[in-house]
Structure 1
Amino acid sequence: MDDTAKYLIHASIAADGVVERSDVVGAVFGQTEGLLGDELDLRDLQQSSKVGRIDVQIDSENGQSFGRITIASSLDKVETAILAASLETIDRVGPCQASVEVTNIEDVREAKRRKVVDRAKELLAGSFDESVMDSSKILEEVRESVRIDDITEYHGLPAGPRVADADAVIIVEGRSDVLTLLQYGIKNAVAVEGTNVPDAVAGLTEERTVTAFLDGDRGGELILRELAQVGDVDYVVFAPEGRSVEDLARHEVMSALRGKTPYGDLFEDGEDRSTPPEPVDESERSSDSEPTASVSVAAASPVAESETTPTADAAADETADDATGPSRDEPSTLRGHVRAVIDAETGSARLLDDEFEAIQTVPADEAFDAVSAAETAPYAVVLDGELTQRLLDVAAQRGLEQIVARSAAEMVKTPVDVRVRTIDQLATVE
């Protein structure tokens, strides 16, 4: 086919006898010669390259011949149609009667366009899928390279680049935990790489503010026990039960660290501090979670478990203390204030400082005014009444850390920085 052709004339031919290709070509030229005048003479059009070669395919069977004629044309639509119609005037091929019928005129450019479209579809489907990255993949790839580049060693242990000079450090279990925290921008984590706490980490705990951020499994418990025996732990955070630190999403990590529990608050006075509590689902403290009932604003955490579920021996000791030891009017723990205010049904609210010493005790319905007017913002509030959205909002504004209430109204919003629990979630020792 001529590369300059715009149209292809397709025609079928049938002859009563056996004919050859040369016979058909001769009939085309001979029987159309002079038919359309000099401007559309087939020989002249071929010589001027306005018409391509005549392509003939012919077969013979049982004394009959059948075939196809194809002619390429660079003429316009009208001239091409006239030329095609002239082929149908052929009635003899050699000595045999014949008939020619134009089956169609093909627009070569349309065929090329169709081919271009089909090929473009193939390229679009196969060439771009693996090479195009969306924004999330770009961010993930860059973060991955940054966190790998930033990981260092502290006395041979995997660590973030700030461990050597930071005032506070986070102790995790393994290298993958350090990498996860690096990904979220936390660069002061160091891994103990097992339950046997290295001397370097034990020494580090004596000099820095230490937060143990451990997996929610038996391994996390054992590491905390070992760490508490050989070093000094200030705060504790457990991943949700059955999950590892490396599995947590960014918001889960940040929420867990904001809700870290002072190590001393994990136990009642007189209990064995070498045994950590069961890990609890820290993800319930996530800012993404919504309260499902009036009491669901309280977040589960290790402190809730151990503060509120003392052993039978501890309960007996506390009963003895009530009779012969320190008065209930002077409790030294948050749990003690809960017993003195809520369990005793005083109908009051008690504001506490960060050492759980009472700042002020007021009627429960005056808790809002007391918190908002306090010269120094309290650390915690124990309320023998219903916690309202109004009181929770002012507590968040003043920077309170904890609220324990007899009950809680259904909240429209729950500040993530205030830890809220109801008495129902504290397993009161009768």
Structure 2
Amino acid sequence: MHSSIVKYHVRLKFDVEGVVEKADLIGAIFGQTEGLFGPEMNLNELQKSWKVGRIEVSLESKGDKTHGEVLIPMSTDISTAALIAAAVENVDKVGPCPAHFTLLGMEDVRVSKRRVIVERAKNIIKEWASKSVSESEELLKDIMEVTRRSKLMTFGKEELPAGPGLLTSDTIIIVEGRADVINLLRTGIENVVALEGVKIPESVIKLSKEKKAIAFLDGDRGGDIILKELSQVAKIDKVLRAPPGREVEDLTPIEVLGILKKEVPTQPPEEAHVPFSENLSTKLQELFPSINGTLEAVVLDGNLDQIMRVPVNELVQRLESTKEAKYLIFDGIITQRLVDMASNMGIDVIIGHRMGDITKKPTDMLLKTFDELGLE
């Protein structure tokens, strides 16, 4: 019987008044239990149907006496196993010699297997937790950072929807509605305020005279009307429009950045002022499908030509020996260690799946995630 189908181990000890062999013990067990409970309960029949396995006997003869143990592996139910154990205990002779059998116990083999499986499961959890804890912490910090960056505030007595960078930036971006503000926040642009209607709020008029003001309006008839009204009462330094028939709230982050280009800071003042070119946007859209989910990194030169493509776990080592790298696009987490190394090598842009805890960011480097660029 294969060990995988054994349910119970019936273990008995025996004492025989005489010297006997293993064959004598097994013969006595089979012979004296036969027919007690019908033919279907005979050990021979149970062995043929794989209900009872090979009976193991260990014995020692000393001083005209023999003692030892018998192990009977069984795959029956517990009741049948108990019945067989009681029948073997009833064996009183081995050959011509008086004998006495005593049950030591019935072990549920499945309990032992479950115990081993549970212990192994605990070890698997410990090993997995130790490997994934750092990434989990990075993801949690990333979520908290996104929440912080995306938090809406209100501005002025009209309580207009605005970004948290509105008052600290030298430039403001004026959009039409609350949904436009949310979309720009998602792109990483925080110096934004919404008009919330055709009538231009006094708070926006006053602020436009104190800072450089850029109007970023929908590419439809409504945008035309608002632009006409805005131009009459506020100081507007530049006008940007969504593509014809499109609204600002529906633009992807890449489209937003492509329209704004160098005209406005896409980050708060302490962030980098690295331009995100249309060529880079196009290259990124080409690369993303082939790199997403691969745990690989692609390094590009200043002409957006591929220098190398490597697994993420080899990235730091390979970067050390790479020259002319300007753009790093990879399926992983942007960490402080990677940023420091890339800065020393003159890399301008890093784009990854997640942003780690970056406490020291170079002013000449742009860091973005695929999600911020509308690719996920």
Q: TM-score range by the shorter chain?
A: 0.3 to 0.5
TM-score for both structures, normalised by structure 2: 0.39
Tell me which structure has the larger Cα radius of gyration. Answer: 1
TM-score for both structures, normalised by structure 1: 0.35
